[in-house]
Structure 1
């Protein structure tokens, strides 16, 4: 029980003209007994009654004192408890509840506490203490084998001033739960060893100034401990030793990592200790997704850094800096936040199937085993709309599942399998796909645990080419007299085809942010116009100018007639093959020729006749140091004439 403040005597208690402020308890104590083999005891609620007269600004403060050197093991609550005070308004009778905290960490024994209520107020402009009452709680514990000796802080922050050689800060260590008691030894590098420790001891430096292994300025974490006489460690004593001079500020962390989960709204927090030897004024700024227990100050102490709620942030990784400024100086502490969401998908500005990242799913429920994805994709080819629906089941591996979203959509785009030689100008080929996903987390019995949706994702086939909005990577190319251009381009949410037949006087074409330059290649034998399906399922053009040869390759079915003892033909099959030389072309167009060979579909126009075909070329030379001008022989199988 601390010394009592002087109490203003209210006189005879009759009221008369004397001010008074009474506090009354319905009882003044209770005894609690806990057998650790059973559930913890429940404390009784007690009542505090107040009565005052001729008092302004009445106030009731409370303090809790513990007789034994252990961690606090109770706190009070109730509608009238606010911080360290009991609210005076709202009636004269206050019900106070007692909550036991951390008693499972206390060794067997008897523990005493005192809750002190102090009534004060203002009379005639003077603040006085009018009444003090105490409530006592005794706790008896037995059969508790889990408690252990510990110390009163997780970390002791001390500062060694290299100018003065003085150690300051959290230099007093209180030992908790040593109720037997045991005689203990404190040992830590750079600090004086203490023997026969029972309840507390002082941290004292040992040759820190001359230790060359310590930095001239900065913070070092030292792991000390309390040891029994047999040298076995019984408790950790963690010390953050900051070294420097008084004119600087220091923090005990070089970076902070946070991780929060979107499955349920939550925050995360971390504390950093700021050492401020000269009590300099400072200010702190943080990224928008962090809050601080204080944004400025002028003393040493802990500052709590807390994330905003996970419900307010998209899933993903965030980074920034906590910046402390003082005296035209600053300290920056990098901070990283990972917001774990069920669905992690950030396509950015990408709207092509092959460019968007996979969707990463994080297991949100411990019993989840399977991820089920229902995908609905709406396609529009030449004004004809189709909807394709698919269901995928993916198992979790190491608490994650990956869905290659873009590839699945890309493979389902409908294709135009007709030539473009007779299309009108500004021909609408297709619109972007519009995709909706329903993503469900299931347990091993396929019970639904969690569901989220991803809607209205708009995608074009293939990858975004370097010539965007032109769907081509070839921005410097040869042309010949009579070449026909098929320019595929993205216009808003559509792919449109521009056919250009009169190309003789065209040196360049402007496609918004892209300019294509054309180089006249006058030497040629024939003009053979080709367009083929590129990676964007759109036509890409090329002009072949070499010689060509068309052949029919036959397969015959015949057998020996046993009656006539001679072979007879029963059937045959025929395929038409086209061998054509490209003619000369620019070296940087070799990749374009390679794409022609890779393509699944091509249309070749020879003497006004159009052939549907695909390349069967087995070998394509990509580099030849002996070549001065490039040309290649290509083979095609003709599917349709």
Structure 2
């Protein structure tokens, strides 16, 4: 029986010798030519979690039907579909010895055999260490410790990030690879520094919404020798990352641990869906539209790691006239100053990419600045541009609220509510002017640029 060997390349698969590592199914693509019912190879796309290999058997042609005649011991299953695709599933590498295992898959078609040579290379697994946490904050400097192999010339950190803004949106998968050259025995790498830049801004405001999901990350560390061959591989699965640093009021995502509230203050808090502290806080809302947090059956589900943003009016949840403590936040009730009519509500994105809040009963002043377009030679005017500015005097605030105001000033955008009017604004203050009175109270002025047509 005639045997034809697929040339010129061999399909090479690389996997670490560790239990539980799943080698992906490789797919070799073929094109079924209906004219003469020949099955002609047109190339392939194969990949592993470690590297990418390509297979080009040339222009070997054989007719349907195709039968799998034999497989090597390190191949678990081979399937040939009517659509002209060949799926190859490999055994788990922990069952094999370290080193190269060679063999071939043989197909039979109308009296001819076709061999597909395969090399299955089992490499040393890499042990990488990272202190375990339920959720990581990107900028907390949680390192991965990489013990360098003696023959390692370089290593790569490959991040596979799964990101989603809400339950209705598809998952966005981003893969980034970072290369390191180092000859130190132990190297620390910080995946959070890279992950933090991929979070998107979501300025939507609502009573109870999903702000975003914690990014689900797979971290792979791959070592290479001087010949650029893979020598070790390690992987960490299902790490969850949130943007920024661990907030001072964690599990609530805010640094405002002590803040003033008025009877009609609007308050916004954010936390992970599975946070018992958020569920406890929400249970105090006895209003007709109070949200609920049904438990997720699977405790490891990604749904537990979505960040919820809850906005409510103070009197629906917090009693009037008391200092109220909710886990890590002190709410200090203060009376409305004489002559004050409206509470000014400010909602802004904090360092954890959630809507934070601040309310005051200070004064506001609107100003307009004009720039004119004109010909410098003739002086002829062609038009004018108007920039509207809002200056907010906060009134007296707590000393503990000053860092919160600083974070407001650093935010990219915010929403300001004055009475029934809403303004989309950009903080543009260059400094926070603090006035220390004899009573040790503080006040600040904040300047905003009002976005036109955003009222």
TM-score normalised to structure 2 length: 0.59
| Larger fraction in helix | 2
SS of the aligned residue for 1:462 comes to coil
| Larger fraction in strand | 1
1:435 aligns with 2:217: yes
1:353 touches 1:462 (CA, 8 Å); kept in 2? Answer: yes
1:394 Cα offset (Å): 1.6
1:480 Cα offset (Å): 2.3
1:522 aligns with 2:336: yes
Q: Which one of the candidate residues 354, 361, 373 is aligned to 2:146?
A: 361
1:579 aligns with 2:391: yes
Aligned to 2:313: 501
Q: Which one of the candidate residues 139, 146, 154 is aligned to 1:370?
A: 154
1:350 Cα offset (Å): 5.2
2:433 touches 2:445 (CA, 8 Å); kept in 1? Answer: no
Aligned to 1:391: 177
C-alpha change, 1:517 and 1:381, in structure 2 (3 Å) is same
C-alpha change, 1:567 and 1:517, in structure 2 (3 Å) is closer
C-alpha change, 1:359 and 1:430, in structure 2 (3 Å) is same
- Gapped runs of 5+ residues in structure 1? 1-262, 266-310, 312-339
C-alpha change, 1:388 and 1:356, in structure 2 (3 Å) is same
Aligned to 2:359: 543
1:597 Cα offset (Å): 1.4
Q: For residues 226 and 388 of structure 2, what CA distance do their matches in structure 1 show? A: 55
Q: For residues 516 and 627 of structure 1, what CA distance do their matches in structure 2 show? A: 21
1:342 Cα offset (Å): 4.9
2:134 touches 2:240 (CA, 8 Å); kept in 1? Answer: no
Written as runs of structure 1 = structure 2, the 5 A alignment for 1:27-426 is: 342-348=127-133, 351-355=136-140, 357-366=142-151, 368-383=152-167, 384=169, 385-418=171-204, 420=205, 423-424=206-207, 426=208
1:371-395 Cα deviation digits (max 9, x unpaired): 2122111112122232222111121
Bigger CA radius of gyration: 1
C-alpha change, 1:484 and 1:348, in structure 2 (3 Å) is closer
SS of the aligned residue for 2:214 comes to strand
SS of the aligned residue for 1:411 comes to helix
Aligned to 1:568: 380
1:482 Cα offset (Å): 2.3
2:263 touches 2:314 (CA, 8 Å); kept in 1? Answer: no
Alignment RMSD, CA only?
A: 3.0
Q: For residues 638 and 354 of structure 1, what CA distance do their matches in structure 2 show? A: 31
Aligned to 2:300: none
1:516 Cα offset (Å): 3.5
1:352 touches 1:461 (CA, 8 Å); kept in 2? Answer: yes
C-alpha change, 1:365 and 1:429, in structure 2 (3 Å) is same
1:461 aligns with 2:255: no
1:130-184 Cα deviation digits (max 9, x unpaired): xxxxxxxxxxxxxxxxxxxxxxxxxxxxxxxxxxxxxxxxxxxxxxxxxxxxxxx
1:357 Cα offset (Å): 1.2
1:528 Cα offset (Å): 1.2
1:95-149 Cα deviation digits (max 9, x unpaired): xxxxxxxxxxxxxxxxxxxxxxxxxxxxxxxxxxxxxxxxxxxxxxxxxxxxxxx
SS of the aligned residue for 1:596 comes to helix
1:584-609 Cα deviation digits (max 9, x unpaired): 11222122112211222211112322
C-alpha change, 1:546 and 1:622, in structure 2 (3 Å) is closer
Q: Which one of the candidate residues 235, 253, 268 is aligned to 1:471?
A: 253
1:634 Cα offset (Å): 0.7
1:510 touches 1:516 (CA, 8 Å); kept in 2? Answer: yes
- Gapped runs of 5+ residues in structure 2? 1-15, 19-93, 95-124, 275-304
Q: For residues 571 and 501 of structure 1, what CA distance do their matches in structure 2 show? A: 45
C-alpha change, 1:567 and 1:515, in structure 2 (3 Å) is closer
SS of the aligned residue for 2:234 comes to strand
Q: Which one of the candidate residues 234, 244, 253 is aligned to 1:452?
A: 234
1:469 Cα offset (Å): 2.3
1:460 Cα offset (Å): 2.0
Indicate the structure whose relative CO is greater, using CA pairs within 8 Å and at least 6 residues apart: 2
1:445 Cα offset (Å): 4.6
TM-score normalised to structure 1 length: 0.42
1:410 Cα offset (Å): 1.8
SS of the aligned residue for 1:567 comes to coil
1:579 Cα offset (Å): 0.8
Aligned to 1:593: 405
1:533 Cα offset (Å): 0.8
Aligned to 2:103: none
Aligned to 1:607: 419
